[in-house]
Amino acid sequence: MFSEGGVTGVGGVRVPAVSTPTAVLGAGSFGTCLAMLCARAHDVKLWSRRPDVAEAINRDRRNPRYLSEFALPDRVEATADLRDALAGRELVIIAVPSHSLREVMTEAAPFIEEGAIIVSAVKGVEFETGLTMNGVFREVLDVAHHPRLVALSGPSFAAEIAQRLPTVVTVACREEAYAISVQATLSCPWFRCYTHTDVIGVETAGALKNVIAIAVGMSDGTDSGLNARAALMTRGLAEITRIGVAQGAEAETFLGLSGMGDLLLTCTGDLSRNRRVGLGLGRGRKLAEIQAELGEVAEGIATTRAAVRLAERLRVEAPICQLVRAVIDGERTPREAGLSLMTRQLRSERDRGPRVRKSGGP
């Protein structure tokens, strides 16, 4: 009998999952749920920066900080030692906050096995460089690893993956054979992967949808209505697409799981941290207070500032990103930002290409 990790391969033939020694770097919510997912058929090392968290996981079979209501499979072994986490691992999944990716991967690089496939579940844009996470990996890791860099993105709340609720994502790699390998390794009856080759598109979509989710949260927090929510999501997708295409992404990518799919989930789902940030701001709460209450990183806050800087470099209009930044930085209220969007210069909806940002603000 095949394990529950089996997948349907070419020609509809059911094939068993092959055990792949796996490392997951990052013991937050998403890293923890991915470790649980992989452990259904694979031996998993879960790396936490904090030794006390690793010890608690091994002792109690639960993550004391994230998704603590879920028991971790026996196949998951936690460690705070990067060398130990990566030794002999054929698949390395990265699930750390975007702001710490460069530091973590610089430390991890000497210990990554030759030939390992590296999967990034990190969603963000580096502020200083404007790079998506794939770009950061390429700067930090030896060129020999570059063909096997894979991005995982799509509508996927960690708690629902942990509950084994149906989840569908995209895995993208410039060399699609490695994306197909990850697809076969991770896919199971409740977690389905589609492959793609547009890495910059998949990563840009996954990062910038968090900014739009903050905007939608602010709109909902000010009781601006369902019409406004739909408009922000639609125009937000257009804005994300402009920024992505200006970097060489394919426009169609943004209509897929990593684009429209993830945008829909993050803007409307109550589990979305970025939506909750926006809701709090819309209701007049201070950003620091909201962040303290969340207890986890809301990637959209840092990504907003990075997205505005990136759009300016690309000479692409990004009015929603600009106004979310203005609210986050205390320069405007959510209601002022909404009014600014509604009273911008009128134009045709068919004007979808990158546009030079005019002086004088959004």
**Active site residue ranges:** 209
84 burial level (CB within 10 Å; 0-12, 13-18, 19+): middle
Distance CA 338, CA 220 (A): 11
Distance CA 35, CA 75 (A): 9
* Distance separating the N- and C-terminal Cα atoms of the chain: 60
Taking alpha carbons only, the member of 144, 349, 304 closest to residue 214 is 304
> Count of CB atoms within 10 A of residue 2's CB?
11
- Which residues is 284 bridged to in the sheet? none
Rg (CA), the chain: 20
User: Can you list the alpha helix ranges (DSSP code H) found in the chain?
Assistant: 29-38, 51-60, 82-86, 101-108, 133-140, 158-162, 176-186, 199-221, 226-246, 262-268, 273-282, 287-294, 299-314, 319-328, 334-342
Distance CA 107, CA 104 (A): 5
Which strand ranges, in their side-by-side order, compose the sheet holding 44-47?
A: 76-79, 44-47, 22-25, 91-94, 117-120, 149-153, 167-172, 191-196
* Integer CA distances (angstroms), 278 to 56, 72, 178, 272, in order: 33, 32, 37, 10
